[in-house]
């Protein structure tokens, strides 16, 4: 069955401009070559040299002591929640957080935690807001143990949390004995947009997850990074979740190419998103908050239109988008869409609206 938020695929002769997500990106030739040549071993036994190299590189890039290669961003976030908490603990997060809304309820079903969603303006919980939400130890209260923060923030439109915002939140959390997990599925987009190393954005957090399979274009995989004890716990959790992989170096090899060659080019996606947003914002019937277009995501509000019908009609014209609400769609710039495609996308919107 197709996912309800997406519009079904149909083979067509015309070139499709696919803006549904940056997860659709295909591996590069260099990745395919590296995968074919990868030196591998049994990673559950700790014997895959390519996975080890990827984990060491990820730890270095995020400034953490250790890293764990996992199958997906969803598994990275779930393993982080499970390694930081016990069943019945409260996990505080933004009410639009991917971990809360888009990960199949795994935090509740598998980690057994109590989510405590807080409304925010752009996805970042402020220090004072966190402190106001914390409740004293009491037999009635689930003990708050963890704060999750997302950077860039998907459902807020790819917005970026600055180093200062991260530090403010983490300082408040740590002062009250809570740990901080950063869902950095698009951490490198945030780093490129802000012009700061990813490690600086990750420094205030106790753990950070990032994805290789989004704008970085690797076919599979995410990394969870943190201190050595945390990663040892997460490695056990990964095994419990069935995520221990054997000759995983075959896919890790593509991840190494991604980290070595694909980070800087994320700026190209940001430029495409900006140009798309500025052009589409001029069309009647379209509302785009340009101040939120900070990375590769454009959230398009379509007041007065049925977003699903608009998406279907765009698809018929070779432009694919995803639904994020009854009157909202999302465009995600990615490696397969260039500045030259922008006029065609704008033309399709003009015709459809």
Residues lying near ligand TLP in the complex (CB under 6 A) are found at 21, 23, 72-74, 77, 98, 102, 150, 154, 183, 185, 211, 213, 222
State the nearest-atom distance from the C-beta of 183 to ligand TLP, in Å. 5
Q: CB–CB of 185/160 below 8 Å?
A: no
What does the alpha-carbon distance between residue 7 and residue 336 come to, in Å, rounded to a whole number? 19
Q: Which residue's structure tokens are 């040549």?
A: 37
State the nearest-atom distance from the C-beta of 28 to ligand TLP, in Å. 19
**Closest CB to ligand TLP among residues 74, 85:** 74
Residue with the shortest CB distance to ligand TLP: 73
State the nearest-atom distance from the C-beta of 41 to ligand TLP, in Å. 24
Q: List the one residue out of 241, 244, 210 whose CA is nearest residue 60.
A: 210
- Which are the contacts of 351, defined by CB distance < 8 A and separation ≥ 6? 317
**Closest CB to ligand TLP among residues 49, 117:** 117
Three-state DSSP class for 295?
coil
- Region of 48 please: left (phi>0), alpha (psi -120 to 50) or beta: beta
State the nearest-atom distance from the C-beta of 221 to ligand TLP, in Å. 8
**Closest CB to ligand TLP among residues 5, 350:** 5
State the nearest-atom distance from the C-beta of 6 to ligand TLP, in Å. 9
Q: CB–CB of 184/222 below 8 Å?
A: no
- With residue 117 as reference, give the H or E element that holds it: strand 114-118
**Closest CB to ligand TLP among residues 114, 208:** 208
Q: How many CA atoms lie within 13 A of 155 on its CB side?
A: 19
State the nearest-atom distance from the C-beta of 32 to ligand TLP, in Å. 20
**Closest CB to ligand TLP among residues 23, 57:** 23
Q: CB–CB of 158/152 below 8 Å?
A: yes
Determine whether 54 is exposed, middle or buried from the number of CB atoms within 10 Å of its CB (0-12, 13-18, 19+). buried
State the nearest-atom distance from the C-beta of 102 to ligand TLP, in Å. 5
**Closest CB to ligand TLP among residues 18, 43:** 18
**Closest CB to ligand TLP among residues 102, 316:** 102
């Amino acid at each position: 069955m197709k996912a309800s938020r997406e519009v079904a695929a149909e083979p067509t002769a015309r070139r499709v401009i696919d803006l549904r997500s940056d997860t659709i990106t295909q591996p590069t030739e260099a990745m395919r070559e590296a995968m074919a040549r990868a030196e591998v071993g049994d990673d559950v036994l700790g014997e895959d040299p390519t996975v080890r190299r990827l984990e060491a590189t990820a730890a270095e890039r995020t400034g953490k002591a250790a890293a764990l290669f996992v199958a997906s961003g969803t598994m990275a976030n779930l393993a982080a929640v499970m390694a930081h908490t016990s069943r019945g603990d409260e996990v505080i997060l933004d009410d639009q957080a991917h971990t809360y809304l888009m990960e199949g309820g795994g935090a509740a079903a598998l980690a057994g935690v109590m989510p405590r969603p807080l409304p925010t303006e752009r996805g970042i919980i402020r220090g004072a807001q966190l402190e106001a939400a914390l409740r004293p130890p009491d037999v009635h209260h689930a003990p708050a143990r963890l704060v999750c923060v997302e950077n860039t923030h998907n459902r807020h439109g790819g917005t970026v949390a600055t180093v200062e915002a991260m530090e403010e939140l983490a300082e408040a959390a740590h002062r009250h004995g809570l740990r901080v997990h950063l869902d950095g599925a698009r951490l490198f987009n945030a780093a490129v947009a802000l012009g700061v190393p990813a490690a600086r954005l990750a420094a205030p957090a106790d753990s950070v997850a990032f994805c290789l399979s989004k704008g970085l274009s690797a076919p599979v995989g995410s990394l969870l990074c943190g201190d050595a004890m945390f990663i040892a716990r997460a490695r056990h959790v990964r095994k419990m979740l069935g995520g221990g992989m054997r000759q995983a170096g075959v896919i890790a090899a593509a991840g190494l190419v991604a980290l070595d060659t694909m980070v800087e080019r994320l700026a190209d996606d940001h430029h495409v998103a900006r140009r798309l947003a500025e052009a589409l914002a001029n069309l009647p019937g379209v509302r785009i908050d340009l101040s939120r277009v900070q990375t590769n995501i454009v959230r398009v509000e379509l007041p007065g239109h049925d977003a699903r019908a608009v998406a279907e009609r765009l698809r018929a014209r070779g432009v694919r988008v995803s639904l994020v609400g009854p009157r909202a769609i999302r465009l995600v710039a990615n490696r397969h869409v260039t500045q030259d495609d922008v006029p065609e996308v704008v033309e399709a919107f003009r015709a459809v609206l």
